[in-house]
């Protein structure tokens, strides 16, 4: 595996795998450089805190215990048996720069542990994209950065999931992702960074304007990554949102906690 010096996770809330029906040139370019799964599976129930919690903490909602209400009202315990990827990175690299730019604020303060030195920013999607891009330009030595765009889910709730209206917002999110990728490239970081793109859940299964069930429209998401050790055109099989944590740990060269349920997908990295 080639050297990976940092990881970026770019989340598209509520986009499911509906990106297949949208014009997403930025995502397409990333896919061409690396790996993609349009049939990845998210956690149950298919709700944002449960799913982003699974991604960041490497375990199912039954174990991490997060719900939207809990994430909005409480901080995640810093001594939990299920540390986030940020806590794992902090413990391995005490002086590293870590950042979370989330349009949905509970991710920053209710899902990622407090007091571990993560730079946290929350603002609307387009402003967030430019703020994150500025941060990357000013801090090219960042080790781990999570960026969450929320508008696809808002459009799904308002207009229905996998509708023309939501697809237009997904295309807007692709543009916002382009702002991030451009900043990574301008900073000279593209070749030695792992960029993960992922949705937390879909929608429109049992409720055209909602989600939360195990219906395939709610449960199926896209998951992609590009960067060192990922061969162009790689097809990822059997991956879940929870496995993202293991991918991040591997890329950063740290051991995944034994308590994590996250597994590294076979064949994802060239060295496996």
Per-residue pLDDT of 123-153, as tens digits, reads 999 999 999 999 999 999 999 999 999 999 9
- Beta strands at 35-41 and 234-235: parallel, antiparallel or unpaired: parallel
Domain count, the chain: 1
Tens of pLDDT, residue by residue over 203-256, are: 999 999 999 999 999 999 999 999 999 999 999 999 999 999 999 999 999 999
CB atoms within 10 A of CB 131: 16
Asked if the structure places residue 66 within a domain, the reply is yes
Q: Where residue 194 falls among pLDDT bands split at 50, 70, 90?
A: very high
Q: Is the pLDDT of residue 271 over 70?
A: no
CB atoms within 10 A of CB 154: 16
Q: Which of 260, 166, 261 is nearest to 211 (CA)?
A: 166
Tens of pLDDT, residue by residue over 58-97, are: 999 999 999 999 999 999 999 999 999 999 999 999 999 9
Asked if the structure places residue 241 within a domain, the reply is yes
Tokens standing for 12? Answer: 């598209």
Rounded to the nearest 5°, which phi and psi values hold at 72?
Answer: -80, -20
Asked if the structure places residue 92 within a domain, the reply is yes
Asked if the structure places residue 269 within a domain, the reply is no
Domain carrying residue 95: 6-252
Asked if the structure places residue 259 within a domain, the reply is no
CATH of the domain at 65: 3.40.720.10
- Up-side HSE of residue 125: CA atoms within 13 Å toward CB? 22
The most distant pair of C-alpha atoms in the chain lies apart, rounded to whole Å, by: 47
Q: Where residue 2 falls among pLDDT bands split at 50, 70, 90?
A: low
Asked if the structure places residue 268 within a domain, the reply is no
Asked if the structure places residue 260 within a domain, the reply is no
Mean pLDDT of the chain: 97
Asked if the structure places residue 219 within a domain, the reply is yes
């Amino acid at each position: 595996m080639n050297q990976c010096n940092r990881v970026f996770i770019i989340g598209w809330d509520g986009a499911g795998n509906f990106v297949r029906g949208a014009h997403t040139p930025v995502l397409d370019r990333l896919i061409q450089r690396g790996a993609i799964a349009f049939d990845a599976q998210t956690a149950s129930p298919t709700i944002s805190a449960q799913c982003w919690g699974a991604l960041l903490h490497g375990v199912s909602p039954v174990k991490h215990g997060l719900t939207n209400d809990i994430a909005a009202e409480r901080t995640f315990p810093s001594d939990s048996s299920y540390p986030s990827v940020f806590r794992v990175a902090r413990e391995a690299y005490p002086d590293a720069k870590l950042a979370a730019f989330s349009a949905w604020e509970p991710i920053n303060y209710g899902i990622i542990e407090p007091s571990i030195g993560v730079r946290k920013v929350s603002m609307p999607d387009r402003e967030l994209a430019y703020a994150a891009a500025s941060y990357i330009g000013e801090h090219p030595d960042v080790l781990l950065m999570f960026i969450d765009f929320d508008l696809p889910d808002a459009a799904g709730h308002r207009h229905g999931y996998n509708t023309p209206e939501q697809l237009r917002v997904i295309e807007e999110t692709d543009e916002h992702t382009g702002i991030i990728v451009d900043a990574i490239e301008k900073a000279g970081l593209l070749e030695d960074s792992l960029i993960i793109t992922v949705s937390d859940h879909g929608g429109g299964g049992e409720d055209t304007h909602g989600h939360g069930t195990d219906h395939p429209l709610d449960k199926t998401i896209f998951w992609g990554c590009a960067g060192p050790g990922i061969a162009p055109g790689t097809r990822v099989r059997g991956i879940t949102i929870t496995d993202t944590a293991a991918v991040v740990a591997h890329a950063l060269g740290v051991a995944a906690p034994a308590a994590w349920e996250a597994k590294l997908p076979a064949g994802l990295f060239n060295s496996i």
